């Protein structure tokens, strides 16, 4: 095989390995039983067919594992928030609120805040929406987002499929770890952009000054060191971070 084509193939292989874990579920959690995954997949299809979230809701009574219940609450919230024929923003808020009581991964936590904020806007609760968007910005503020959009680099050492080299597996894991961090950095930059847009969208509705925004932040976190970063973001031009 041509070396360039071979490297392209193994590069894709590494990326595919990195992405495959997030294909089926929404919470970012793991530890699901095979029975749960089977019933979850069936419920996904049933929701589309019935235009009802009830197939997911029914699973809440059957499964008591915390990761599985958290996954269901996020999925039900998304069904009520986004699925055609199922949308009910008030119910979406209720299920997202329950989902936030679980120990969600940081990425999922930020996503749920955005989704719940959007649902709060739909039911004409801009104050509650604003608080969710500010919670999301607080989470973003703990990461260094000053370096801009990171480009994805190809591996410096070739990665091969079906290699007998024992170090090849390590290189695959190393590269996928790198991709995980780059993907998360990109997610944070996009999330910050959309959260700032959301705050600016609802702020006129609730007539909150900059000082009042700080007062709200103080009710959400005792860490006042983050407030200046957030107010600077809100005052600055919100430039789209991706090319």
Q: Is the pLDDT of residue 2 over 60?
A: no
Both tokens of residue 58?
């029914």
Q: So where are the chain's domains? A: 1-107, 125-150+165-243
Q: What is the DSSP letter of 213?
A: H
Compare 7 and 225 and report the one with higher pLDDT.
Answer: 225
* Distance separating alpha carbons of residues 217 and 234, to the nearest angstrom: 13
Predicted confidence (pLDDT) per residue in 72-128, tens digit: 999 999 999 998 899 999 999 999 999 999 999 999 999 999 999 999 999 999 999
Q: Is the pLDDT of residue 172 over 60?
A: yes
Predicted confidence (pLDDT) per residue in 225-238, tens digit: 999 999 999 999 99
Give the total residue count for the chain: 243
Residue 5 binned pLDDT confidence (cut-offs 50, 70, 90)? very low
Using DSSP, state whether 160 is helix, strand or coil.
coil
Would the pTM count as exceeding 0.95?
no
Task: Give residue 15's pLDDT.
Answer: 42
Predicted confidence (pLDDT) per residue in 184-201, tens digit: 999 999 999 999 999 999
Residue 158 binned pLDDT confidence (cut-offs 50, 70, 90)? confident
Q: Give yes or no for a contact between 201 and 117, defined as CB atoms under 8 angstroms apart.
A: no
Find the mean pLDDT for residues 129-146.
Answer: 97
Predicted confidence (pLDDT) per residue in 23-61, tens digit: 368 999 999 999 999 999 999 999 999 999 999 999 999
* Contacts (Cβ under 8 Å, ≥6 apart) of 40: 24, 25, 32, 59, 71, 72, 75
């Amino acid at each position: 095989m041509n070396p360039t084509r071979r490297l392209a193939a193994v590069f894709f292989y590494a990326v595919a390995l990195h992405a495959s874990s997030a294909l089926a579920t929404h919470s970012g959690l793991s530890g699901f039983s095979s029975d749960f995954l089977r019933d979850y997949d069936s419920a996904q299809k049933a929701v589309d067919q019935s235009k009802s979230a009830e197939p997911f809701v029914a699973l809440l009574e059957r499964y008591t594992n915390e990761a599985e219940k958290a996954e269901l609450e996020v999925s039900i919230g998304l069904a009520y928030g986004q699925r055609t024929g199922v949308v009910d923003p008030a119910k979406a808020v209720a299920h997202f609120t329950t989902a936030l009581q679980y120990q969600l991964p940081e990425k999922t936590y930020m996503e749920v805040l955005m989704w719940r904020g959007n649902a709060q806007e739909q039911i004409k609760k801009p104050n509650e929406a604003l608080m969710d968007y500010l919670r999301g910005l607080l989470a973003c503020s703990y990461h260094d987002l000053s370096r801009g959009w990171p480009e994805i680099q190809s591996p410096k050492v070739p990665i091969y499929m079906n290699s007998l080299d024992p170090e090849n597996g390590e290189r695959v894991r190393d590269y996928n770890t790198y991709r995980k961090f780059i993907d998360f950095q990109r997610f944070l930059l996009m999330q910050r952009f959309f959260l700032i847009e959301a705050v600016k969208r609802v702020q006129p509705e609730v007539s909150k000054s900059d000082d009042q925004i700080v007062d709200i932040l103080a009710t959400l976190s005792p860490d006042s060191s983050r407030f200046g970063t957030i107010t600077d973001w809100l005052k600055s031009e919100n430039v789209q971070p991706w090319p």
